[in-house]
Amino acid sequence: MALYQYRASNAEGRISKGQTEALHELDLEAQLKQIELMLLSAKALPPRQRVVKSMPRREVIDFFFQLEMLVRAGVPLLTTLGDLRDEAESPASRDLANGLFEKVEAGSTFGEAVAAYPGVFSPTLISLIRAGEVTGQLPDVLKEIVRSLKWQDEMASTTKKLLMYPGFVMVVVGGVVFFLMIYLVPQLIGFLINMGQTIPLQTRLLIAVSGFFVKYWWLILTVPPLLFAAIGALAATFPALRYRLHQMEFEIPFIGQVLKKMILARFADTFALMYRTGIPLIEGLVYCQAISNNLVIQNAIRRARERVLNGTSLSQSFAAEMLFPSLVIRMLKVGESTGALDAALSNISYFYTRDINESVAKVQAMIEPVLTVVMGLILGWIMLSVLSPIYDTIAKMKT
């Protein structure tokens, strides 16, 4: 589809100028007729090259799905890319398909073409596509890529669900406490002081906490985000601190182990995909190490890969790292002995995925009662601190 600059006139003879995309001049003329304009002249403009730096995962999945369906149906790759370009629903998808079309048309392989878009295609995907071209299994590789990307999208959604709900609960509890300490408690405290009654310890503590909130509210609101930003900057500078923070991720109650299982599940799924498409074991471990965004897991995969290079079996190499439970190690042993390592790795991914879904459901079920208990304790402390002096005054009045 080309970009045309045109001159056209309406029924009254008024001249209009503009630019629009069309397949050819006849298509342009048909488009103008729909808006009651008659084409006078048209000039094809040079194509605007837009570099696609990134795309949403859902669009990448849709791109690969359509590509796999057309290639599997026997449509030539160049024709497939042209169809994807002409039928793309988003500008990014159209520019991506157009860029790939031009590179393949100029003589590049499909693997070389996708390598020109590192922001869209990860090194793992590029290696898989190249392997599919070399072995003649590109449709099967594309199908596996679609499956893997869909699974990763589901895991990303599960991760957001796991982290956002506790974060929302913490914000709600913090907002309620902030409101109580800034607005409600000072009014109650003023009432108690006017009573002239001796103030008990828990009430004095409440007065001190409320006074701190009223006096330093700006500090309470600004210090946490600044602290997180400073820790992030230091972690980016000092690998040892970043490694310790990644260790602490796994130590978070309830959530840490789920995050660890998610990383290991993605590792097993990607490793199985690369092994199934014919990528050598050692090379597959290198790519799997790169996609693991946790230094603890990265270092463990690196050490396991070094053991494999020295002649140790894959199952023994990972068993030495204490990453996987014994059931998973046994599955790896079975996969090595039967030659079906990809099936064993897929079973590991399935095992972790099912465990993750169950764990997320348990965490979400626990958050509501925990929120109720925390709010109850806070409100109970405030009520006890406020009402106990009032009860003491009433008791003295009766005596």
Q: What is the CATH number of the domain that holds 67?
A: 1.20.81.30
Percent of the chain having pLDDT more than 90? 2
Q: How far apart are CA 242 and CA 140, in angstroms?
A: 39
Q: How many domains does one find in the chain?
A: 3
Q: Which of 149, 171, 191 is the last residue of a domain?
A: 149
Query: What is the pLDDT confidence band of residue 283, given thresholds at 50, 70 and 90?
Result: confident
* Residue 94 shares a structural domain with residue 229: no
Q: What is d(CA 219, CA 242) in angstroms, rounded to the nearest whole number?
A: 26
Is 168 part of any domain? yes
Domain assignment present for 52: no
Residue 131 lies in a domain: yes
Phi, psi (deg, nearest 5) at residue 58? -65, -40
* Domain assignment present for 201: yes
In a domain, 347, yes or no: yes
pLDDT digits (tens, 9 = 90+) for 52-108: 778 888 888 899 899 989 888 888 888 888 888 888 788 888 888 888 888 888 888
| 25 falls within a domain | yes
CA distance linking residue 163 with residue 165, whole number of Å: 6
Same domain, 295 and 368: yes
Residue 226 is predicted with a pLDDT of: 92
Tell whether 50 is covered by a domain: no
Q: Are residues 34 and 96 in the same domain?
A: no
Asked whether residue 315 falls in the same domain as residue 176, the answer is yes
Give dist(CA 48, CA 50) in Å, integer: 6
Q: Answer whether 186's CB lies under 8 Å from 206's CB.
A: no
Co-location of 71 and 134 in the same domain: yes
Judged on CB neighbours under 10 Å (0-12, 13-18, 19+), 132 is: buried
Domain residues for the domain of 29 are 2-45
8 A C-beta contact, residue 324 and residue 268: no
Confirm if 272 and 349 have CB atoms less than 8 A apart.
yes
Closest CA to 318 of 293, 294, 345, 338: 345
Phi and psi based region of residue 74 (left: phi greater than 0; alpha: psi -120 to 50; beta: remaining): left
In contact, 180 and 382? CB cutoff 8 Å? yes
Task: State how far the Cα of 341 lies from the Cα of 330, in Å rounded to an integer.
Answer: 12
In a domain, 183, yes or no: yes
203 and 298 co-located in one domain: yes
Task: Clarify whether residues 299 and 317 are in a common domain.
Answer: yes
Residues 144 and 164 in one domain: no
Q: Binning pLDDT at 50, 70 and 90, where does residue 392 land?
A: low
Residues 131 and 267 in one domain: no
Residue 139 shares a structural domain with residue 159: no
Spatial distance between the Cα atoms of 5 and 17, rounded to a whole number of angstroms: 7
CA distances from 217 to 179, 210, 211 (A): 11, 10, 10
Asked if residue 125 and residue 33 are part of one domain, the reply reads: no
Q: Is the pLDDT of residue 189 over 80?
A: no
Q: Which of 105, 123, 149 is the last residue of a domain?
A: 149
More confident residue, 197 or 26: 26
- If asked whether residues 177 and 282 sit together in one domain, one would say yes
Nearest Cα to Cα of residue 92 among 125, 52, 128, 32: 52
Last-in-domain residue among 115, 149, 183:
149
Cα gap 164→197, rounded to integer Å: 45
Q: Check: pTM over 0.75? Answer yes or no.
A: no
**102-154 residue pLDDT tens:** 888 888 888 888 888 888 888 888 888 888 888 888 888 888 888 888 888 88
Task: Flag whether pLDDT at 364 surpasses 70.
Answer: yes
Task: Please say whether the beta carbons of 78 and 70 come within 8 A.
Answer: no
Question: What is the torsional sign of CA 56, 57, 61, 64?
Answer: positive
Q: Which residues contact 24 (CB under 8 A, 6 or more apart)?
A: 2
